[in-house]
Chains A and B, each alone.
Chain A
Amino acid sequence: MSSNLIGYLIGLPLFGAAALLLGGRRTNKWGHISATALSASSFALGLKLFNDMLALPTEERAMHQKLFSWIHVGGFQVDAGLLLDQLSICFVLLITGVGTLIHIYSIAYMSHDHDRRRFFAYLNLFISAMLLLVLGDSYLNLYVGWEGVGLASYLLIGFWNQKPAYATAAKKAFVMNRIGDMGLSFAIMISFVTFGAISFDSIKEAAPQASTAALTAIGIMLLVAATGKSAQFPLQAWLGDAMAGPTPVSALIHAATMVTAGVYLITRSNFIFDLAPNAQTAVAAIGAITLLFGALVGTAKDDIKKALAASTMSQIGYMILGAGLGPAGYAFAIMHLLTHGFFKAGMFLGAGSVMHGMNDEVNMRKYGALRKFMPITAITFGLGYLAIIGVPPFAGFYSKDKLIEVALNAGGIKGYLFGGAALLGAAITAFYMSRVVILTFFSQKRWDDNAHPHESPILMWLPMAILAIGSVASGFLFTSGDALKNWLEPVVASHGEGEHAELLPPMTVSVIALTLVAIGVGYAIFKYRAESNPNTPENVSIFTRIARRDLMQDAFNEAVFMRPGQVLTKSLVSIDENVIDGAVGGVGSAAVGSGQLLRKLQTGFVRSYAALMLLGVALLLLAIWVVTQ
């Protein structure tokens, strides 16, 4: 039975992480090779399971594996169980596939770091936690993986924690993620109260009988969880700072896999969202807001990694928007997630390759005309770029165009708003991605003379090349004959939802989208073609300034949450110190004081003791006499 093998998907990289972390310095020599090999074997196992699934009829493809009874208390029963179905296998292949490529890339990228073994241990830990996240068969099992990837992300963002700013970035990511995690734990608690169970299968069965209010509450809490992990509005502020981690980490965790966990969560919970239309609309609205938010931030960033991070945020906004549009959108959200996994990971690796050749310079204004010095990086990055802006026949065209189409067809005012946001986002995406490409690979040389740009070694450009092939071909593969849509049908099946009339025919949508993309690209070429200023211009409009400061996200968080939070904490501390400690201390000093007073009676003179005793007896007798009278 191949279902017994599911556990090994998680177990292999987990074993790698444990061996490298417990083995210590002894494993320095071969740690990176074993980690890469274990990740690759997990990928091979994933391919085998995928192959097995293909051989089975559609309704038997979902495989379960019970690992052990985990919690068995009264009516609360949770098994540590795994579920491999059509949705999770997509993620398994993405995580292990892209993960293995990034392991290979990191061997070269991190070769000068004396802590390379620890880096690979954390990468393995991340792979296994992410696999647990997508393979868990209940919300609680998912939660374990959810926290696991949060931990791995924290460890890797702060990998160079000798720099205080990087350690702070790691802490920021962790704290903001905790807010989302709280949403997930509330969702689990509400579903246990509502359904008496927390496994996907039992909730799916019981959901139609539950009240809409409970389902909406669960849906909103799941959305909070998704906004935290996927850096969606209003919990998006950590992603830009998370770029403090090494670039392969940004590619794997903060572009291709972990940040898409929110999309997975919402797609996996389709049985809840389909029955809670208000929660579903909230999901779509968050997605639409974030896709514009990220795109606007992306237009102003000079740090190449932060520009790509803003773009990631925006693209995940597209996915969340798709997932919030119900059964029509799930498959396209997942498709965009997979194609995005290819092209964005590829572009991040490209950015890492540029940094590798430019003494770790991240400011795009210090690049320029690098295509002559790094031809392979330029080509692979360029293919990813064509994919993300949605030029046919590259991958992004298929997935993003479909999402725009679904958004436009959402019906009524929703269709205009979401579709409009998606179209506008496509235009801005074209502009800021063109800006990145022009400033980095075209225009004029703006770097200092001590930089010696050179092409990266084969271990680095090979993964980039493979991901570039993915960015070219994946979209076509997924859409030919609606392959991915039909594949995911059993998991995200629509239950006779009334289809809305098409607002615009698909062909027209594509033409409009492409026109907007062309305008964005054209404007970027016009603006940055001859850029020669190696410094960030100072006198810019107020809008640029706001966009450079991430649309004031940090200022907002600081003013609305951090400052009042600090005041609250300080006042609570002062209440604790003065009132509670005062009461406790008061009892103590009262006891001490009365003791000091009573001590004076202990004179050591027997006769005074006797006199006191006599007095006491006399008073006692008097009292008895008074009472009995």
Chain B
Amino acid sequence: MNPINYLYVASLLFTIGAVGVVVRRNAIVVFMCIELMLNAANLAFVTFARINGNLEGQIVAFFTMVIAACEVVIGLAIIVTIYRSRRSASVDDASLLSR
């Protein structure tokens, strides 16, 4: 199969993720959409590694996974803390700094 198709899938995933970040209010869903965009980027990296026949893209993908794991831990911790104090996980409610 032509590896270009993987790039199409990656851009589709990224678009879904981006739209999700912009339109959804629930912090958990927004967070999942961010993960989706990260994974879309990962898929693109791996595909480019395959197309170019070297390992750089694969290595970057591993790094991304590690960073994404850390990010999940911190992000979930923030969301849980906010939820505890405000009884809401909506991103629109967390707008204290603009006032």
Interface string of A589-610 (1 = CB under 8 A from B): 0000000000000111111001
Whether the pair A604, B22 counts as a contact (CB closer than 8 A) is: no
Whether the pair A604, B95 counts as a contact (CB closer than 8 A) is: yes
Interface string of B1-29 (1 = CB under 8 A from A): 00000000000000000100111010000
A614 within 8 Å of B (CB atoms): yes
Residues of A within 8 A of B25 (CB): 607
Give Cα distance in the complex from A44 to B99, angstroms.
85
Residues of A within 8 A of B97 (CB): 604
The contact of A607 among B22, B98, B99, by CB within 8 Å, is: B22
Residues of B within 8 A of A603 (CB): 95, 98
B94 within 8 Å of A (CB atoms): yes
Whether the pair A604, B99 counts as a contact (CB closer than 8 A) is: yes
Q: What is the minimal beta-carbon distance from B95 to any residue of chain A, in angstroms?
A: 3
B66 within 8 Å of A (CB atoms): no
A501 within 8 Å of B (CB atoms): no
Whether the pair B91, A607 counts as a contact (CB closer than 8 A) is: yes
Whether the pair B22, A602 counts as a contact (CB closer than 8 A) is: no
- Pick the most buried of B18, B22, B98: most chain A CB atoms within 10 A of its CB: B22
The contact of B23 among A602, A606, A607, by CB within 8 Å, is: A607
B71 within 8 Å of A (CB atoms): no
Residues of B within 8 A of A611 (CB): 22
Give Cα distance in the complex from A614 to B30, angstroms.
15
B92 within 8 Å of A (CB atoms): yes
Q: What is the minimal beta-carbon distance from A616 to any residue of chain B, in angstroms?
A: 12
Residues of A within 8 A of B92 (CB): 605-607
Q: How many chain-A residues does the 8 Å CB contact rule pick out?
A: 9
Give Cα distance in the complex from A607 to B18, angstroms.
10
Residues of A within 8 A of B23 (CB): 607
Task: Name the residue of chain B whose CB is nearest to the CB of A615.
Answer: B22
Give Cα distance in the complex from A603 to B98, angstroms.
6
Residues of B within 8 A of A614 (CB): 18, 22
Q: What is the minimal beta-carbon distance from B71 to any residue of chain A, in angstroms?
A: 16
Q: In which size bucket is the chain B interface?
A: 10 to 19
Q: What is the minimal beta-carbon distance from A600 to any residue of chain B, in angstroms?
A: 11
Give Cα distance in the complex from A249 to B93, angstroms.
85
Whether the pair A607, B95 counts as a contact (CB closer than 8 A) is: no
Whether the pair B91, A602 counts as a contact (CB closer than 8 A) is: no
Give Cα distance in the complex from A606 to B82, angstroms.
15
- Pick the most buried of A603, A607, A614: most chain B CB atoms within 10 A of its CB: A607
Q: What is the minimal beta-carbon distance from B37 to any residue of chain A, in angstroms?
A: 10
Give Cα distance in the complex from A603 to B94, angstroms.
11
Residues of A within 8 A of B91 (CB): 605-607
Residues of B within 8 A of A606 (CB): 91-92, 94-95
Residues of B within 8 A of A602 (CB): 98
Whether the pair A604, B98 counts as a contact (CB closer than 8 A) is: yes
- Residues from 151 to 190 in A contacting B, C-beta threshold 8 Å: none
Q: What is the minimal beta-carbon distance from A619 to any residue of chain B, in angstroms?
A: 14
Residues of B within 8 A of A605 (CB): 91-92, 95, 98
Residues of A within 8 A of B99 (CB): 604
Q: What is the minimal beta-carbon distance from B83 to any residue of chain A, in angstroms?
A: 15
Residues of A within 8 A of B30 (CB): 607
Q: What is the minimal beta-carbon distance from B22 to any residue of chain A, in angstroms?
A: 5
Give Cα distance in the complex from A605 to B91, angstroms.
7
Task: Name the residue of chain B whose CB is nearest to the CB of A618.
Answer: B18
Interface string of B28-64 (1 = CB under 8 A from A): 0010000000000000000000000000000000000
- Residues from 69 to 99 in B contacting A, C-beta threshold 8 Å: 91-92, 94-99
Give Cα distance in the complex from A298 to B79, angstroms.
100
Give Cα distance in the complex from A610 to B96, angstroms.
17
Give Cα distance in the complex from A139 to B23, angstroms.
85
Residues of B within 8 A of A604 (CB): 95-99
Residues of A within 8 A of B18 (CB): 614
Give Cα distance in the complex from A606 to B89, angstroms.
13
Q: What is the minimal beta-carbon distance from B34 to any residue of chain A, in angstroms?
A: 9
Q: What is the minimal beta-carbon distance from B62 to any residue of chain A, in angstroms?
A: 25
Give Cα distance in the complex from A614 to B33, angstroms.
14
Give Cα distance in the complex from A605 to B30, angstroms.
13
Give Cα distance in the complex from A602 to B98, angstroms.
7
Task: Name the residue of chain B whose CB is nearest to the CB of A617.
Answer: B18
Whether the pair A610, B22 counts as a contact (CB closer than 8 A) is: yes
Residues of A within 8 A of B95 (CB): 603-606
- Residues from 430 to 480 in A contacting B, C-beta threshold 8 Å: none
Residues of A within 8 A of B94 (CB): 606
Give Cα distance in the complex from A610 to B94, angstroms.
14
- Residues from 565 to 609 in A contacting B, C-beta threshold 8 Å: 602-607
Give Cα distance in the complex from A96 to B95, angstroms.
86
Task: Name the residue of chain B whose CB is nearest to the CB of A607.
Answer: B22
Give Cα distance in the complex from A611 to B22, angstroms.
6
Q: What is the minimal beta-carbon distance from A526 to any residue of chain B, in angstroms?
A: 99
- Residues from 84 to 135 in A contacting B, C-beta threshold 8 Å: none
Residues of B within 8 A of A607 (CB): 21-23, 25, 30, 91-92
Q: What is the minimal beta-carbon distance from B82 to any residue of chain A, in angstroms?
A: 12
Give Cα distance in the complex from A614 to B95, angstroms.
20
Give Cα distance in the complex from A606 to B26, angstroms.
12
Q: List the 9 closest A-B pairs by CB distance, nearest first.
A: A604-B98, A604-B95, A611-B22, A606-B91, A610-B21, A607-B22, A605-B92, A610-B22, A614-B18
Sample of 20 more A-B contacts, CB < 8 Å, known A602-B98, A606-B95, A610-B21: A603-B95, A604-B95, A604-B96, A604-B97, A604-B98, A604-B99, A605-B91, A605-B92, A605-B95, A605-B98, A606-B92, A606-B94, A607-B22, A607-B23, A607-B25, A607-B91, A607-B92, A610-B22, A611-B22, A614-B18
Task: List 24 contacting pairs A-B, 8 Å CB cutoff, sorted by A.
Answer: A602-B98, A603-B98, A604-B95, A604-B96, A604-B97, A604-B98, A604-B99, A605-B91, A605-B92, A605-B95, A605-B98, A606-B91, A606-B92, A606-B94, A606-B95, A607-B21, A607-B23, A607-B25, A607-B30, A607-B91, A607-B92, A610-B21, A611-B22, A614-B18
| B interface, CB within 8 angstroms of A | 18, 21-23, 25, 30, 91-92, 94-99
